[in-house]
Structure 1
Amino acid sequence: MAPKLTEDEINDLLYYARTGDKEEFDILKNELCKRGNVSVVELVRAARDEQSGNGVLHMAAANGHHALLAELCKALSVPSPQNPTMLSILNSQNSAGNTALHWAALNGHLESVKVLLEQGSDPTITNQRGHDAVYEAELNDKKEVVEWVLKEGGEGLEEGVSGETGEGEAETDEEMGEDDNTAEDEQSKKIAEGMKQMGLEEGKGKS
């Protein structure tokens, strides 16, 4: 049974996940679960932006809030770790085909990447551009993430990293809510254009 959430309630959940305000997120989460007599799993599954397809895991991952991600994954692991419902939420794609793992990886949030992979996120899922999470990390020069995922993530990922890089396909931390001091040049303009196509500008948040 899906809880009936207003647009404002969904926006608030996404906002708190994006800013990493765990206390406010928990207060609202508990209030909504009690009101609708629903589980955290049902709430998280329902709390998605209708237009962008972004969920609370996308927002927390995009901004590196690994502690909140770990707490949510713990709640999702009922009745058992990596159950079908949990995996479907972890690997849900937004309107541009990006999972929470894509966002954590392309922003270089290694601890968030570790949480997501350990909890069952699929690193081989590709977005609408045909890129898996580790390839997005490589495009954004997040070497620490690339090296760790290739070492710990299993087989089948090297091919994604060796793919061709297309124009305007990388994203910047600035667009995803992180600080970025990159000079504004022609390449950054191309990146911004690519951003819009990938649907990643919705991940903006306060750093």
Structure 2
Amino acid sequence: MHIFTLTADEVDDLLYFTRVNEAQDLHQTITELSQKYNCEARYILEKCIDPDTGNSVLHYCSANGLAELLQNLLSQLKAGELNGKASDCVPLINRQNQQGNSPLHWAAYNGHMAVVKSLVDAGADMWVKNGAGHLAVFEAERADKSEVVQYLLEVGGRAVEQTGREGAATAEDEAEVQAEAGGVGNGAAKLEAEADGGVDVEMEDAGSSD
């Protein structure tokens, strides 16, 4: 067990370099912190959580569509795992911030297809609901990201076909996804979101602040 806490400055540096896509500075900082705390890089990433918002480095990659950087971070999360299993990185991938949004919620809302696919391939759970009770596919629909909606519907359908194994999605899950999507492009979900105040997932400008 790796018991340590990153300082506020260390967390700020990691999140800042992620937001502005300074991959070299981010990698160097992760390496330095790994040496400081005598641990693997994935433990540094797991500890890097904004105490005010609950956001992780994966949230900012997802908000800004940083597909290449995301892949690099996912590879670091998976490095050193026993027998090549990726289960250890799943908790961070599915981590929800204070509004209940996972990285997949942000990627879906902003229509970053490459990021959405990478997250799903890495183990992102599309059945996770945010604080407003919405799935990622709902957020994609209310933002008119029809390509992402279609992809998540297809992924959801494949998951339902795997019923019978532990933890598999159910037919009820698929029905819920279909209901939340409300039909690609018809605006039903968007109107519902506006009626109930929606949820804070608008992160197009996540890289603009220091």
Q: What's the TM-score, normalizing by structure 2?
A: 0.79
Change (3 A) 1:171 1:137: farther
Q: Give the number of the structure whose alpha-carbon radius of gyration is greater.
A: 2
Separation (CA, whole Å) in 2 of partners of 1:82 and 1:88: 10
| Contact residue 41 and residue 77 of structure 2 kept, 8 A | yes
| Contact residue 13 and residue 56 of structure 1 kept, 8 A | yes
Change (3 A) 1:69 1:2: farther
Change (3 A) 1:171 1:92: closer
Provide the aligned C-alpha RMSD in A.
1.9
Separation (CA, whole Å) in 2 of partners of 1:28 and 1:153: 37
User: Aligned pair count?
Assistant: 179
Does residue 206 (structure 1) correspond to residue 208 (structure 2)? The answer is: yes
Name 1:177's counterpart in structure 2: 204
Separation (CA, whole Å) in 1 of partners of 2:91 and 2:30: 20
Separation (CA, whole Å) in 1 of partners of 2:116 and 2:65: 9
Structure 1: tracts of 5 or more residues without a match: 179-203
Does residue 98 (structure 1) correspond to residue 125 (structure 2)? The answer is: no
Does residue 161 (structure 1) correspond to residue 181 (structure 2)? The answer is: yes
Separation (CA, whole Å) in 2 of partners of 1:2 and 1:61: 28
Q: What's the TM-score, normalizing by structure 1?
A: 0.80
DSSP 3-state at the match of 1:176: coil
> What amino acid is aligned across from residue 124 of structure 1 in structure 2?
W
Structure 2: tracts of 5 or more residues without a match: 161-173, 183-187
| Contact residue 2 and residue 43 of structure 1 kept, 8 A | no
Query: Per-residue deviation at 1:205?
Result: 1.5
**Cα displacement string for residues 136-184 of structure 1 (whole angstroms, at most 9, x for unaligned residues):** 0101111111112212343423233138513231668xx5234xxxxxx
Equivalences for residues 32-181 of structure 1 within 5 A: 32-78=33-79, 79=81, 80-83=84-87, 85-154=88-157, 155=160, 156=174, 157-162=177-182, 165-167=192-194, 168-169=197-198, 175-178=202-205
Change (3 A) 1:119 1:169: same
> What amino acid is aligned across from residue 158 of structure 1 in structure 2?
Q
